Amino acid sequence: MSQALAEATQSDPAGADSAIPAGFVALREPPGFVGVNGPLYIRYQRGIEGQPETNLVQMGFRVEARHCNPMGNLHGGMMATFGDMLLAVSALRKNAVARRHFLPTISLQLDYLSPGRLGAWIQGEAQVLRATRSMVFMQGLVSADGEPAARLSGVLKLGPTFKSMGFDHRAAAPEAPAA
């Protein structure tokens, strides 16, 4: 462990302020890669009935020591993982067709704008730019403690339906809790 990361971890082992912002709930994560890199959190608010693009979808996580590079900042690979999940989960909740499909990533671009420090709250929001019969085009912005940290864009493929894979699509993109 680098000296910077060791000092940051010793000064605040729990990570600055380990509280999760109001309205965020833990995202049910699949086993495997994403599951061991979380927990990720989601805040979801249903928009105008019949217009899923108006739904509010925000995701976030608290930077822990295991998410950091030797300088004590959020590792770029973890930011990319978060961005990939942000685009896919947002598409599932903001597009009626995408909602029923597994969405493998075809392309993901990130511009790193500033570092996320150990303990920072990382939060992102994404928009569906266009959906075709086979692809979903997305963009998003991620912040670290309210400051822009990454700009991202991506293309997702409409893969097999969750039903054909034996999954309930509502488990992948459940309804918003009652207000």
Compute the CA torsion angle 68, 72, 39, 151 (nearest 10 deg). Answer: -80
Are β-strands 121-131 and 135-144 bridged in parallel, bridged antiparallel, or unpaired? antiparallel
Question: 21: which residues sit within 8 A by CB, 6+ positions away?
Answer: 43, 60, 121, 123
Q: How far is CA 44 from the centre of its chain?
A: 12
> Quick one: pLDDT at residue 15?
45
> Quick one: pLDDT at residue 140?
98
| Phi, psi for residue 155 in degrees, rounded to 5 | -125, 125
> Quick one: pLDDT at residue 12?
46
Cα–Cα nearest to 64, from 34, 28, 40, 32 = 40
> Quick one: pLDDT at residue 99?
87
> Quick one: pLDDT at residue 169?
53
The pLDDT tens digits for 32-55 are 887 888 899 999 988 778 777 778
> Quick one: pLDDT at residue 171?
53
Residue 107, number of CB atoms within 10 A of its CB: 12
**What's the one-letter identity of residue 139?**
Q
Cα–Cα nearest to 1, from 13, 18, 62 = 13
- State which residues of the chain have pLDDT below 70: 1-17, 30, 168-179
Structure tokens at 128: 């569906």
Structure tokens at 22: 């109001």
How many C-alpha atoms does 83 have within 13 Å on its Cβ side? 28
b/e map of 4-43 (b: 16 or more CB within 10 Å)?
ebeebbeeeeebbeeebeeebeebeeeeeebeebbebbbb
